Amino acid sequence: MTVTLENGFLKQQLAAQSSTTASAVKLVIVNLMPNKLETERQFVNLLAALSQDVRVTFARMATHQSRHTDEAALQAHYVTLDDIFYQDFDGLIVTGAPVETLAFAHVDYWAEFQAWLDWRDQHVDQTIFECWAAQAALFVDAGIEKQVTAQKVFGVYRSQVVANTPLTTGLATVSMPQSRHATLPEPDTSSITTLVEDGQAGPIVLSNPAKRSLYISGHPEYETETLINEFRRDQKKGQAIQLPKNYFAAACPVNTWHQDSVKLYNNWLSQVRTHTLANL
């Protein structure tokens, strides 16, 4: 369906494809990834494959100085929490960030991240947290501590659906890229339900109905070449990195996750719409 951008680096490029459909789902995406443009494109492409029109606002952390994107350009193209504080949104998506090895308190925007969670409770119908954001939100919401791993969890994992809910409709397994230096323990609280689990990579998708939040340990939005590009980047930095697992066929990257990502996000959008309509 149609993705309309309210702001962002891709807004002008996609202007001709924009829609003003009144029924479009209103989303805000907090983009914590270093390459803002690449991450915008990944999410736009995923959202465009869904069965519902969406309107997207991109947001940044005001307390973080980007090292990879010109700050003036970022301020011109992204909003902050203060800019939208009194607005309501159907959905919130918070991306991952390459800070898993840091203690949460050592992340320079940690206080602001917690402010986003407080704001979510009053102004958002449904939320998705991905990768580091999932680890961080689970710590805030349920006291679940991430576990830093000696070796990066890196590759594509096909994981088992272990709870049949509207969020897992049409899915028996879920294939998803993982690129992280931490994993999650099994939740020991009744407020959190594991929906998708992997014997090697741990919990993959978790749900918290009370917070209307979904925690995803990987990157459903990744494009076919993203993992190999990350591998080459880490190699250039001199980091010890293994080739991504379960990713190649005849030495070429193969995208085995896109359809599962579309189903998962479509299920989430259906829940967003259901909750929104119920509150009209």
- Tell me what pLDDT residue 71 has: 92
| Mean of pLDDT over the chain | 94
- Tell me what pLDDT residue 12 has: 85
Q: Is 131 among the residues known to form the active site?
A: yes
152 is in an annotated binding site: yes
SS3 36: helix
Digit-coded pLDDT (tens) for 155-167: 999 999 999 999 9
Those residues whose C-beta lies under 8 Å from the C-beta of residue 162, and which sit 6 or more positions away, are 194, 195, 196, 197
Q: Nearest-5° angle of CA 22, CA 30, CA 185?
A: 120
Q: Where are the chain's structural domains?
A: 3-223+257-271
- Tell me what pLDDT residue 67 has: 85
| Contact status, residue 63 vs residue 112, Cβ threshold 8 Å | yes
- Tell me what pLDDT residue 43 has: 98
Place of tokens 């991504």: 244
- Tell me what pLDDT residue 240 has: 86
Strands in 213-216's sheet, in edge-to-edge order, are 3-5, 54-59, 25-30, 89-94, 124-130, 213-216, 202-208, 193-198, 147-161, 173-183
Digit-coded pLDDT (tens) for 185-208: 999 989 999 999 999 999 999 999
Those residues whose C-beta lies under 8 Å from the C-beta of residue 221, and which sit 6 or more positions away, are 39, 42, 43, 45, 46, 130, 261
Of 131, 181, 197, 230, which residue is the catalytic one?
131
Of 40, 130, 221, 230, which residue is the catalytic one?
221
Torsions phi, psi for 129 (to 5 deg)? -115, 135
20 vs 77 pLDDT, higher one:
77
Q: How confident is the model at residue 22 (pLDDT cuts 50, 70, 90)?
A: confident
Digit-coded pLDDT (tens) for 35-72: 999 999 999 999 999 999 999 999 999 999 888 888 99
Q: Rounded CA gap, 133 and 231, in Å?
A: 21
The encoded tokens of residue 111 equal 């206080």
Using the predicted structure, report yes or no on whether residue 18 has a pLDDT greater than 70: no
Q: How confident is the model at residue 276 (pLDDT cuts 50, 70, 90)?
A: low
SS3 137: helix
Q: Rounded CA gap, 167 and 267, in Å?
A: 5
245 is in an annotated binding site: no
- Tell me what pLDDT residue 279 has: 57
The residues pairing with 27 across neighbouring beta strands, listed in sequence order, are 56, 91
Digit-coded pLDDT (tens) for 240-269: 899 999 999 988 999 999 999 999 999 999
CATH fold group of domain 3-223+257-271:
Rossmann fold (3.40.50)
Q: How confident is the model at residue 19 (pLDDT cuts 50, 70, 90)?
A: low
Q: Is 6 among the residues known to form the active site?
A: no
Using the predicted structure, report yes or no on whether residue 278 has a pLDDT greater than 80: no
Q: Rounded CA gap, 189 and 249, in Å?
A: 40
- Tell me what pLDDT residue 267 has: 98
**Per-residue DSSP letters for 37-96?**
HHHHHHHHHHHHTSSS-EEEEEE--TT---SSS-HHHHHHH-B-HHHHTT--EEEEEE--
